[in-house]
Amino acid sequence: MNVAAIDTPALVVDLDAMQRNLLAMAGFARERGLRLRPHAKTHKSAWIAQQQIARGAVGVCVQKTSEAEALAAAGVRDLFITNEVVGDAKLARVAALARDVTLAIAVDSALGIDRLAAALHHARSRAGVFVEIDVGHGRCGVSPRAAATLAGSVVAHGLRFAGLQAYHGRAQHLRSAQERAAAIAAASRAVQDALGALAAAGIACPLVSGAGSGSFVLEAASGLWGELQCGSYVFMDRDYADNAALTGAPRFEHALFVKSQVMSRAADHAVIDAGHKSHAIDSGLPRVWGRDDLQFVNGGDEHGILRGAALPALGETVWLVPGHCDPTVNLHATMLGVRGGLGRGVVERIIAVDARGCIT
Amino acid sequence: MNVAAIDTPALVVDLDAMQRNLLAMAGFARERGLRLRPHAKTHKSAWIAQQQIARGAVGVCVQKTSEAEALAAAGVRDLFITNEVVGDAKLARVAALARDVTLAIAVDSALGIDRLAAALHHARSRAGVFVEIDVGHGRCGVSPRAAATLAGSVVAHGLRFAGLQAYHGRAQHLRSAQERAAAIAAASRAVQDALGALAAAGIACPLVSGAGSGSFVLEAASGLWGELQCGSYVFMDRDYADNAALTGAPRFEHALFVKSQVMSRAADHAVIDAGHKSHAIDSGLPRVWGRDDLQFVNGGDEHGILRGAALPALGETVWLVPGHCDPTVNLHATMLGVRGGLGRGVVERIIAVDARGCIT
């Protein structure tokens, strides 16, 4: 099928651009001697996870138990749930999954460790346990000094202490390079504090895992992180592209688009058939691809409104670069993988969003 | 299953509250002698559509062709696509669907009418055609005076002119009663202008359809609208509840909730497992139900952050009232229908979101 025949709105992946992004990140990690474990919360696709693993990734991260289950069912064998689970029913699922795949999970409470240990014991399975420290985001994770206490509890329960989970989500979206450098410098101090506390307690730390697409160059340069969790680089959304580039960072291309059509025209605006049921707007509105002269105005759940001097005609195709790729992908059952560009390309592959809506 | 056993996060419908909402709106329409055609873009569920029809609704509205297809496949027999379709492939689907169900659709362009007529002719099917006028939203729809030209074109193509589509989306969310009254007064003048133009052209207007949950009392009082399209009343989200009530409006209750769990605790905040992959934030953040002392802070795709003096404990259940019900429902494959309240109720029904993700 030609790109022209794709009905709208539709989520389209430029496979050529995505492949260049995959190679650029894999090359960066290899050159620095770092493990790459891309975050699959971005694409929620077993096929893309396998593309990443085929290029050297050690496995993928997920954020939710049900995401791990969905990707495992679709063939991914090495998964890290970079998030806390404290419900007993869900921990039973975690423990069951750990029988089938190589699994790791984050903890940030004594209660969470107790319950995880009980679930794994009951299921007779094993999982790597990362202690999450708050490195500046102000969300999950304990203080650096408390890491040693929790790691000690992990070990005391007979579980495998896999290292520190240290991810600064908010830092990814600070626009200037200076702001991000300052945030990751502070995060590095937090990691050093935690490593110091672990050493004082006589606990070896096998790995520090973290970093995102906006800051990974900084974590890589710190010498502290051994594993990068970047996710969005694969698609490169509008929000990440709005960041000032960091020195030494590979250049990633937009690879995720919403194809839309002008469905209504007035004298001063055009209405397209893509609203925020087609693309997430939590990180701002999409950009009109190739038409920087057009302004996208929020038109609600099912419409987008375009303003500008040279408006597209009724029926014309309009391509959008979503503001935020992760929740945009989550809105769709499939992504259409295109070869040969958005203009004259062909649909080579229908990519299932295997973990769509997997929020538990 | 008891409510307590529902894994989190999950979308939960309080069936008792929803039923009271359904009865209140059905009673309002009946007392005013108005047709009620609730908008199914809110719930995307054939079962809820049937509940509405069983209480007197003439059918339901949808916004997208694929929504109509999904609900028709699940047994809904009378559908109005309150939106424009101009793509030939999609119009072929519209025309095919019109063979199976009673279908209406909106138009706002000569091109759209030409193509719709061709598609219906080719499929040998019939559909009601509403001419959409812009009554103040500034999105789709022609000017009131242009309505007569388009209605004439509908008739000239041998299609059935069903009336005017006149919906003021933006007016629904104006907070004060005065602002909404002014907006619907202006919309009423636009409808009158269009009716005048139609009369001058000798075209009878069978029906004016429109109105939403924030303003329908005003459209009903105008004597112009004959059909109400309200959707959100069934669930009543935080955004609609923030509106000042209109005199004479039934009181709707919150009936849609996200059940979540505290998964991480710090001294100054709690983190719950529901972020904006669980609830849409386009109309603002959710409210913590029954805990007005807690402030919900955006924690990203998979987390919510709570601040307040008396924070819930790790593992505790937290109920959210979503900011905007329509795109929240669209994030979920199912809604769990509960009887007997959120505290000690039981899950009576798993409600499929039949038209989830139906954006084409």
Q: Does B349 touch chain A (CB under 8 A)?
A: no
Interface of A with B in 22-81 (CB under 8 A): 41, 63-64
For residues B14 and B254, is the Cβ–Cβ distance under 8 A? Answer: yes
In a domain, B273, yes or no: yes
Instruction: Specify which residues B108 forms β-bridges with.
Output: none
Residues 6+ apart with CB under 8 A from A278: A9, A11, A258, A260, A302, A328, A331, B359
Q: Does A302 touch chain B (CB under 8 A)?
A: yes
In a domain, A241, yes or no: no
Among the partner-chain residues B261, B266, B359, the one whose CB lies closest to the CB of A277 is B359
If pLDDT is split at 50, 70 and 90, which confidence band does A309 have? very high
Nearest to B58 by CA among B79, B72, B42, B43: B79
The CATH number assigned to the domain holding A263 equals 2.40.37.20
Among the partner-chain residues A139, A261, A265, the one whose CB lies closest to the CB of B299 is A139
Min distance B64 CA to chain A CA atoms (Å): 8
Min distance A242 CA to chain B CA atoms (Å): 18
Do residues B263 and B341 both lie within one domain?
A: yes
Give the HSE-up count for residue A150: Cα atoms under 13 Å, Cβ half-sphere: 28
| Partners of residue A357 in chain B, C-beta under 8 Å | 277, 331-333
The CATH number assigned to the domain holding B31 equals 3.20.20.10
| pLDDT tens figures, B181-192 | 999 999 999 999
Do residues A204 and A259 both lie within one domain?
A: no
Residues of chain B with pLDDT > 90, as a percent, come to 100
Which strand (E) or helix (H) includes residue A352? strand A346-352
For residues A306 and A312, is the Cβ–Cβ distance under 8 A? Answer: yes
Min distance A291 CA to chain B CA atoms (Å): 20
| Partners of residue A44 in chain B, C-beta under 8 Å | none
Residue with tokens 């989970």: A165
| Partners of residue B139 in chain A, C-beta under 8 Å | 264, 271, 299-300, 303, 305
Q: Say yes or no for a CB contact (<8 Å) between B332 and A301.
A: no
Both tokens of B257, joined, read: 């909730």
In a domain, B360, yes or no: no
Min distance A10 CA to chain B CA atoms (Å): 8
Nearest to B107 by CA among B97, B99, B119, B96: B119
Residue with tokens 């972020």: B275
Max Cα–Cα distance, chain B, nearest Å:
72
Q: Which of B192, B209, B235 is the last residue of a domain?
A: B235
| pLDDT tens figures, B243-279 | 999 999 999 999 999 999 999 999 999 999 999 999 9
Backbone angles phi, psi at B124, to 5 degrees: 55, 45
Q: Say yes or no for a CB contact (<8 Å) between B7 and A138.
A: no
Q: What is the DSSP string of B193-236?
A: HHHHHHHHTT-----EEE--TTTHHHHHHHT---EE---GGGT-
Among the partner-chain residues B278, B315, B360, the one whose CB lies closest to the CB of A9 is B360
Do residues B284 and B222 both lie within one domain?
A: no
Beta strands in B87-198 (DSSP E): 102-107, 128-132, 160-166
Looking at residue A278, its amino acid is S
Query: Once rounded to an integer, what is the mean pLDDT over residues B141-167?
Result: 98
CA distance A229 to A221: 15
Do residues A169 and A258 both lie within one domain?
A: no
| Partners of residue A86 in chain B, C-beta under 8 Å | 261-263, 314-315
In a domain, A247, yes or no: no
Do residues B256 and B158 both lie within one domain?
A: no
Query: Once rounded to an integer, what is the mean pLDDT over residues A333-360?
Result: 97
Q: Say yes or no for a CB contact (<8 Å) between A276 and B282.
A: yes
Q: Say yes or no for a CB contact (<8 Å) between B140 and A263.
A: yes
Q: How far apart are the first and last CA of chain B?
A: 36
| Partners of residue A280 in chain B, C-beta under 8 Å | 276
Query: Once rounded to an integer, what is the mean pLDDT over residues B203-228?
Result: 98
Buried/exposed A81-94: b ≥16 CB within 10 Å, e otherwise: bbbbbbbeebbbbb
Do residues A130 and A259 both lie within one domain?
A: no
Do residues B227 and B287 both lie within one domain?
A: no
| pLDDT tens figures, A140-196 | 999 999 999 999 999 999 999 999 999 999 999 999 999 999 999 999 999 999 999
The domain tally of chain B equals: 2
Nearest to A139 by CA among B286, B108, B275: B275
Do residues B270 and B147 both lie within one domain?
A: no
Backbone angles phi, psi at B345, to 5 degrees: -75, 180
CA distance A133 to A108: 7
Q: Say yes or no for a CB contact (<8 Å) between A327 and B276.
A: yes
Q: What is the pLDDT of residue A13?
A: 98
Q: What is the pLDDT of residue B168?
A: 97
CA distance A309 to A304: 17
Query: Once rounded to an integer, what is the mean pLDDT over residues B145-161?
Result: 98
Residues 6+ apart with CB under 8 A from B182: none
CA distance A51 to B101: 44
If pLDDT is split at 50, 70 and 90, which confidence band does A60 have? very high
β-bridge pairing A317-321 and A60-62:
unpaired
What's the domain range around A264? 3-10+252-352
Min distance A31 CA to chain B CA atoms (Å): 31
* Phi-psi domain of B202 (left: phi exceeds 0; alpha: psi -120 through 50; beta: other): left
Q: Helices B146-156 and B110-123 meet at what angle, rounded to 10?
A: 20
| pLDDT tens figures, B74-102 | 999 999 999 999 999 999 999 999 999 99
Nearest to B11 by CA among B359, B325, B339, B354: B325
Q: What is the pLDDT of residue A316?
A: 98
Q: Which of A236, A268, A301 is the last residue of a domain?
A: A236
| pLDDT tens figures, B17-26 | 999 999 999 9
Q: Say yes or no for a CB contact (<8 Å) between B327 and A9.
A: no
Nearest to A269 by CA among B167, B140, B50: B140
| Partners of residue A10 in chain B, C-beta under 8 Å | 360
Instruction: Specify which residues B78 forms β-bridges with.
Output: B102
Do residues A110 and A50 both lie within one domain?
A: yes
Exposed/middle/buried for A19, CB within 10 Å: 0-12, 13-18, 19+?
A: middle
Interface of B with A in 178-237 (CB under 8 A): none
Q: Say yes or no for a CB contact (<8 Å) between A141 and B261.
A: no
| Partners of residue B318 in chain A, C-beta under 8 Å | none
Q: Say yes or no for a CB contact (<8 Å) between B357 and A326.
A: no
Among the partner-chain residues A9, A83, A87, the one whose CB lies closest to the CB of B359 is A9
Q: Give the nearest chain A residue to B264 (CA atoms).
A: A140
Residues of chain A with pLDDT > 90, as a percent, come to 100
In a domain, A220, yes or no: yes
Q: What is the pLDDT of residue A117?
A: 98
| pLDDT tens figures, A67-94 | 999 999 999 999 999 999 999 999 999 9
For residues A24 and A251, is the Cβ–Cβ distance under 8 A? Answer: yes
In a domain, B287, yes or no: yes
Instruction: Specify which residues A298 forms β-bridges with.
Output: A304
Do residues A146 and A183 both lie within one domain?
A: yes
Q: Which of B208, B235, B262 is the last residue of a domain?
A: B235
Three-class DSSP category at A293: coil
Do residues A80 and A226 both lie within one domain?
A: yes
If pLDDT is split at 50, 70 and 90, which confidence band does A19 have? very high
Cα–Cα distance list, B76 to A348, B49, B303 (Å): 36, 7, 36
In a domain, B241, yes or no: no
If pLDDT is split at 50, 70 and 90, which confidence band does B112 have? very high
Q: What is the pLDDT of residue B313?
A: 98
CA distance B264 to B304: 10
Q: Say yes or no for a CB contact (<8 Å) between B264 and A333.
A: no
In a domain, B58, yes or no: yes
Among the partner-chain residues A140, A301, A332, the one whose CB lies closest to the CB of B357 is A332
| pLDDT tens figures, A200-258 | 999 999 999 999 999 999 999 999 999 999 999 999 999 999 999 999 999 999 999 99
Both tokens of A177, joined, read: 């390079």
Chain A with chain B: Cβ pairs closer than 8 A: 149
Interface of B with A in 312-341 (CB under 8 A): 314-315, 326-327, 330-333
Q: How far apart are the first and last CA of chain A?
A: 36
* C-alpha triplet B59, B61, B63: angle, nearest 5°: 155
Min distance B155 CA to chain A CA atoms (Å): 21
If pLDDT is split at 50, 70 and 90, which confidence band does B163 have? very high
Looking at residue A250, its amino acid is P
For residues B37 and B227, is the Cβ–Cβ distance under 8 A? Answer: yes
| pLDDT tens figures, B192-210 | 999 999 999 999 999 999 9
Do residues B184 and B213 both lie within one domain?
A: yes
Handedness of CA A304, A306, A312, A317 (dihedral sign): negative
Q: Does B1 touch chain A (CB under 8 A)?
A: no
Which strand (E) or helix (H) includes residue B177? helix B177-200
CA distance B118 to B249: 43
Cα–Cα distance list, A187 to A8, A176, A181, B212, B246 (Å): 43, 17, 10, 48, 51
Residues of chain B with pLDDT > 70, as a percent, come to 100
Query: Once rounded to an integer, what is the mean pLDDT over residues B294-307?
Result: 98
Q: Is the ipTM of this complex over 0.90?
A: yes
